[in-house]
């Protein structure tokens, strides 16, 4: 069960009342029962709008940018991985970020959820978790769905369900998924020939309209000037005729995120044309994990992969 709304509100209120932090960054209810939006509470009264349930998938570390005063972030494991990464990269002083960890069993993939329902999205009255199920209240009563069928696929393979880096924890620790094959989602790509994979990604990148929503959703995309904005920035292009540019953008971005991605899924959630960006991110994660035994943001001591020059150094850093 990962509805931590009451505990999150209570702790956020305490933190603001005591003056330990000036702001709490969390989620509030979005425009539908299966959506949340970011919420920034600066007073105890504003904590009443906070929620933390199965809809709270977006990575809140994206809102932490060199805070001058101490802020608290309601952090799932992937948010905490991103916070550890950006703190290490100089985007925030550790003392200015209180990581209020929350245990997590996966967050909704809106598309997967809605495809399971035989009624229109506007008829969803509520969404809640019960045991290993997500229960959707619809026009004819409750629809019970196995959680694994409606959460983001990357959540199914998450090893940070209890935040690896946090100042305190809300909820009981949740053990990581430790299947022998930690990347079964990549099986389809593995089965393809190199040419087949190139064709797969060509078809995906043809769809890209270069809206840069993936970049905006990502805590690790914080360069003041992104490489795609350096020369003749092009926005919201029609995908068909822009294949080379689209390829450069998507592959370039994935390379910049290698060893820095927390596998949160926010980029894929934000993509308006449903490009399976997590396959690309997970492919890069597997490559860096296998070569250097490195997963981003799994400890405070960990050095950044790109700052390491020897395999042995990477392994030593990973293990503290
Ligand atoms: S990636 Fe892990 S921590 Fe993040 S939402 Fe999914 S299960 Fe939770
Ligand atoms: S690349 Fe995507 S999955 Fe990785 S940290 Fe950024 S938003 Fe999250
Ligand atoms: S969010 Fe999707 S469409 Fe927009 S730039 Fe990223 S990959 Fe392309």
In this structure, are 272 and 211 located in the same domain? yes
Residue 50 contacts residue 78 (beta carbons within 8 Å):
no
64 and 29 part of one domain: yes
**In terms of domains, do 88 and 104 share one?**
yes
* pLDDT for 308: 63
Residues 30 and 63 in one domain: yes
Tell how far the Cα of 123 is from the centroid of ligand 2, in angstroms.
Answer: 31
Find the 278 Cα to ligand 2 centroid distance in Å: 8
Closest atom of ligand 1 to CA, residue 77 = 3
Ligand nearest to the CA of 237: 3
Statement to judge: residues 142 and 161 lie in one domain: no
Closest residue by Cα to residue 62 from 170, 197, 215: 215
Per-residue pLDDT at 225: 85
- Are 102 and 130 in the same domain? no
Q: Which domain holds residue 145?
A: 110-150
102 and 177 co-located in one domain: yes
Closest protein CA for atom 4 of ligand 1: 78
Residue 264 and residue 211 share a domain: yes
> Could you tell me if 222 and 115 lie in one domain?
no
Domain end position, chosen among 150, 181, 216: 150
What pLDDT score was predicted for residue 320? 46
Q: Quote the pLDDT of residue 312.
A: 58
Looking at the fold, whether 228 and 209 belong to one and the same domain comes out as yes
Please count the structural domains in the chain.
2
Q: Are 143 and 213 part of one and the same domain? A: no
pLDDT of amino acid 243: 73
Report helix, strand or coil for 319: coil
Enumerate residues 6+ apart whose C-beta is below 8 A from 211. 235, 236, 272
State the Cα–Cα distance between residues 95 and 305, nearest whole angstrom: 23
Specify whether 104 is located in the same domain as 114: no
260, 283, 280, 259: which is closest to 271 by C-alpha? 280
Distance 209 CA to ligand 2 centre (A): 18
Q: Which residues, in sequence order, are CB contacts of 111 under 8 Å at separation 6+?
A: 274
Over residues 264-296, the pLDDT tens digits come to 999 999 999 999 999 999 999 999 999 888 899
Q: Which element (helix H / strand E) includes 280?
A: helix 277-292
What pLDDT score was predicted for residue 301? Answer: 84
Average pLDDT for runs of 10 along the chain of length 320 = 89 98 98 97 98 97 96 98 95 97 96 96 97 96 97 92 96 83 91 97 93 95 84 56 80 93 96 96 94 90 72 56
Distance separating alpha carbons of residues 121 and 197, to the nearest angstrom: 34
């Amino acid at each position: 069960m990962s509805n931590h709304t009451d505990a999150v509100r209570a702790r956020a209120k305490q933190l603001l009342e005591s003056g330990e932090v000036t702001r709490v960054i969390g989620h509030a209810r979005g425009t539908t029962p299966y959506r949340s939006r970011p919420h920034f509470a600066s007073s105890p009264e504003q904590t009443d709008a906070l929620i933390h349930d199965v809809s709270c998938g977006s990575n809140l570390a994206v809102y932490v940018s060199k805070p001058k005063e101490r802020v608290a972030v309601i952090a799932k494991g992937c948010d905490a991985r991103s916070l550890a990464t950006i703190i290490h990269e100089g985007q925030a002083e550790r003392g200015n970020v209180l990581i209020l960890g929350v245990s997590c069993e996966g967050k909704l993939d809106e598309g997967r959820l809605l495809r399971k329902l035989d009624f229109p999205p506007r008829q969803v009255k509520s969404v809640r978790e019960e045991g290993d199920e997500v229960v959707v209240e619809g026009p004819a009563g409750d629809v019970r769905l196995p959680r694994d069928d409606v959460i983001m696929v990357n959540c199914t393979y998450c090893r940070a369900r209890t935040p690896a880096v946090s100042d305190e924890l809300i909820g009981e620790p949740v053990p990581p998924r430790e299947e022998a094959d930690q990347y079964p989602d990549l099986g389809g790509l593995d089965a393809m020939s190199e040419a087949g994979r190139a064709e797969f990604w060509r078809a995906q990148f043809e769809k890209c309209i270069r809206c840069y929503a993936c970049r905006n959703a990502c805590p690790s995309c914080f360069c003041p000037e992104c490489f795609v904005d350096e020369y003749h920035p092009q926005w919201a292009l029609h995908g068909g005729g822009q294949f080379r540019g689209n390829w450069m953008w998507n592959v370039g971005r994935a390379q910049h995120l290698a060893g820095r991605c927390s596998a949160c899924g926010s980029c894929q959630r934000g993509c308006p044309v449903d490009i399976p960006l997590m396959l690309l991110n997970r492919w890069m994660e597997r490559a860096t994990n296998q070569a250097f035994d490195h997963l981003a943001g799994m400890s405070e001591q960990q050095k950044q992969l790109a700052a390491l020059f020897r395999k042995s150094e990477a392994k030593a850093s990973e293990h503290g």
